[in-house]
Amino acid sequence: MKTTFTAIIEKDADTGLLVGYVPGFPGAHSQGATLDELNRNLREVIEMLLEDGDPAVEGKSARIL
């Protein structure tokens, strides 16, 4: 079964980089110069975090489908 996470993406005004994070999922954040790079980086981080087991999602702001 494939799990879907919703990420919030913002552009850092100082660096111009895109910064993304999954609300309520500690450690699930990354950055990239392009949307494609950020997406790859976030996927890699989430995969690494999931190797340790199910995520310790905090609060009700994260949506897991």
User: How many domains does the structure of the chain reveal?
Assistant: 1
The predicted pLDDT at position 1 comes to 62
Residue 32 lies inside a defined structural domain of this protein: yes
**What confidence tens digit (pLDDT) does each residue in 1-43 have?**
677 889 999 999 999 999 999 998 999 999 999 999 999 999 9
Residue 44 lies inside a defined structural domain of this protein: yes
Residues 7/42, Cβ–Cβ less than 8 Å: yes
Rounded Cα gap, residues 43 and 50, in angstroms: 10
Residue 57 lies inside a defined structural domain of this protein: no
Average pLDDT over residues 51-56: 76
Residue 1 lies inside a defined structural domain of this protein: no
Residue 61 confidence (pLDDT) above 60: no
Residue 58 confidence (pLDDT) above 80: no
Residue 55 lies inside a defined structural domain of this protein: no
**What confidence tens digit (pLDDT) does each residue in 39-53 have?**
999 999 999 999 987
Residue 61 lies inside a defined structural domain of this protein: no
